[in-house]
Chain A
Amino acid sequence: MISFVIRRLAQSAGTLLGGAVITFVMLAASPGDPAERILAAQGKESVTPTAVAALRTELGLDRPLLARLWSYLRDVLTGDLGSSWSTGRPVIDELGSRLPATLRLTVAALGLAIIASLVLGLAAAWGSGRLLDHVSRLLSMVFLVVPSFLLGVVALDLVVVRSGVGVVISDGQWGTVLLPALILAVGSAASWSRVLRASLLGARSAPFLTVSRARGTTGLRRLLVHELPNSLPPFVTIIGIEVAVLLGGAPIVESIFSWPGVGRFTVQAVGARDMPVIVGFVMISIALFVAASLIVDLVNAAIDPRLRGR
């Protein structure tokens, strides 16, 4: 188990390093002179060529590419992501002050999606072939095909504007998280419940379940005690993968509900082509995604010792 953890940690570090290299390439490839952008952001009246040249030297932009990559990697490692080209403030502060709001939204969505998919998946598997299964599968299908931004726009209009429940502009606290989190969770809940149903039905054909049935256990007991634990690894795995989907969906949902998180901030940064902020968001997403995958693998290895081998 320990060697497995060490191997996985090394793998995660590799992904982070690769991500940092890719973001460096993006920074280097993006048009525009960072020095000019920063001076303009600081509100300097006249940007003189000498001031630009001085800042370029200060930022090290006149050094060879490989030397810049090296110092970039060192900066990222120490949490220095540069300054925003729009506001002039350090990216780490800009994103850091907005990250808690995004984490609240994502964690709430994750919780809602897990509960909803467990209910839908277990219901479908318990009543397989019968009405309960059909209703549950229909619900999953409906949730799966509705894009989050369509659902978000309609929900904002119906729930907030017409019924007066909730607020149009969120403060990013737990009190207003329910509706945005629900919208973010819907698609994931649908696809997870489909995975759970399939793996519950797959577990049903195992020999120990025939034995259990022969012993006269009830269907519900078999479902919860025998089938569910054996179906968990694929379910946990898909949750880990879909953390990426939640992270990618956050900018859209945050924009609709004016949620003051990093996603909405990044969308504005993309519009303004504020590269350091965009790169900062990518690095944070990679870190969260890598952490989620790591947790999932450790949970799975804890559930099923056979998975530790590789």
Chain B
Amino acid sequence: MITSLRRPRRTIEHSMPQFGRIDQGRLGRRVLLHRGGRVGVVLAFVLFVLALVGPRFVMDPDVPDYTNKLQPPGSGHLLGTDLAGRDLLARTLAGAQTSLGAALLVMAIVTIVGLVVGVLAGSAGGVIDTVLNRLMDVVLGIPGLVLTLAMVGVLGPSFINLVVAMAATGWAGLAKLARSHTRGAGQRPDIIAARMAGAGPVRIAFGHVLPGAMSLVLVASTLRLGETVVALAGLSFLGLGAQPPTAEWGNMLSASRQTLAVAPFQVIGPGLGLMLTVLASTLIADALRDVNELRNSR
């Protein structure tokens, strides 16, 4: 039971073993064979499909109807209506699109930034590596949500700025991962072969090492999807992200607070959406961990 004392902030990247290169097809099959993993993958798939096509089949989420405000769930409005008489099912589905879309955007940015910075640091070595590595340490040394909050303060509260702030604070853990993958790469047979074939350092770093690190970083950033969605919703809940009338799970919950005593059903849609997203993400993460432990113990 020896755990390293140098602990970066998040757990997921570091609970993953340092495998050299991920065989994505095999990993995917193993996760699907895992009972919890299968449930998680199906759930995530359903959520994404609902977010993608759901809004087409319901009424406009932003049109108020003051004659029908705070209607309880029932015929006509499956999840009821809010204070402005807007259909909560429609707003929940629109909110899924906002939340999941923004989370995917954040993930795409942090994956790219983390990969480029990590591979650059790992293959350049020397001063560049030291500087970048210190920068990662400092970013990881500040509690994530606190740093995001401060970045929103610098940029000003809006949803786009929140996405930028999340991206600006989330890349460091992934860069660490990419860096540790890159640092050992010089001795790998395929990299030696590439060097002997005459590839320059830049070409080796970005043409040979980076693709190998990519699957690793991609898996790690995917595992944080649930966490990202909750952070986006949490800051929107505080009024520092998505602004009304945009439908987003966090600001829907925030808007429901004043009338919760008479219309508690308002939390159902956004609440379920958030919980199912985190559940899917957690199940997939657990499955990946189990699958890797199995492989390592053989």
List chain A positions with a Cβ less than 8 A from chain B: 14-15, 18-19, 21-23, 26, 29-31, 141, 144-150, 153-154, 157, 161-162, 191, 195, 199, 202-203, 230-231, 233-234, 237-238, 240-241, 243-245, 247-249, 251-252, 255, 266-267, 269-271, 273-275, 278-279, 281-282, 285-286, 289-290, 293, 297, 300-301, 304, 306-307, 310
Contacts and interface: CB of A to CB of B under 8 A. Distances in A.
A150 B146 contact: no
Contact of A281 (B138, B150, B260, B282): B150
Given A153-B256, A199-B1, A304-B2, 13 more contacts: A14-B137, A21-B138, A147-B274, A149-B234, A153-B253, A203-B1, A233-B3, A244-B9, A248-B149, A267-B239, A269-B153, A297-B5, A310-B5
19 contacts: A19-B142, A31-B156, A145-B276, A147-B274, A149-B233, A153-B253, A153-B257, A161-B260, A199-B1, A245-B143, A247-B145, A269-B153, A271-B157, A271-B239, A273-B153, A289-B142, A300-B5, A307-B2, A307-B3
A137 B137 CA distance: 33
Interface of B: 1-7, 9-11, 134-135, 137-139, 141-147, 149-154, 156-157, 226, 230, 233-234, 237-240, 250, 253, 256-257, 260-261, 264, 267, 270-271, 274-276, 278-279, 282
A282 B147 contact: yes
B155 to A, nearest CB: 8
Q: At the interface, is chain A mostly helix, strand, loop or mixed?
A: helix
A240 B8 CA distance: 11
B11 A150 contact: no
Contacts, number: 167
B238 A289 contact: no
A154 B267 contact: yes
A307 B11 CA distance: 19
Contacts of B274: 147, 150
Residue with the greatest number of chain B CB neighbours at <10 A, chosen from A29, A234, A243, A282: A282
B143 A252 contact: no
Contact of B141 (A26, A231, A270, A289): A289
A306 B150 CA distance: 38
A230 B2 CA distance: 10
A280 B3 CA distance: 33
B58 to A, nearest CB: 22
Nearest to B279: A145
B261 A162 contact: yes
A287 B267 CA distance: 36
A290 B238 CA distance: 26
B1 A15 contact: no
Given A271-B157, A282-B146, A300-B5, A19 B141 contact: yes
B154 A244 contact: no
B2 A289 contact: no
Contact of A278 (B149, B275, B279): B149
A248 B135 CA distance: 20
Contacts of A244: 9, 143-144, 146
B3 A147 contact: no
B31 to A, nearest CB: 18
A188 B51 CA distance: 29
B143 A29 contact: no
A252 B239 CA distance: 11
A271 B239 CA distance: 8
Contact of B275 (A150, A252, A282): A150
B234 A266 contact: no
A23 B6 CA distance: 24
Contacts of A145: 226, 275-276, 278-279, 282
B171 to A, nearest CB: 14
A249 B2 CA distance: 30
Contacts of A241: 7, 9-11
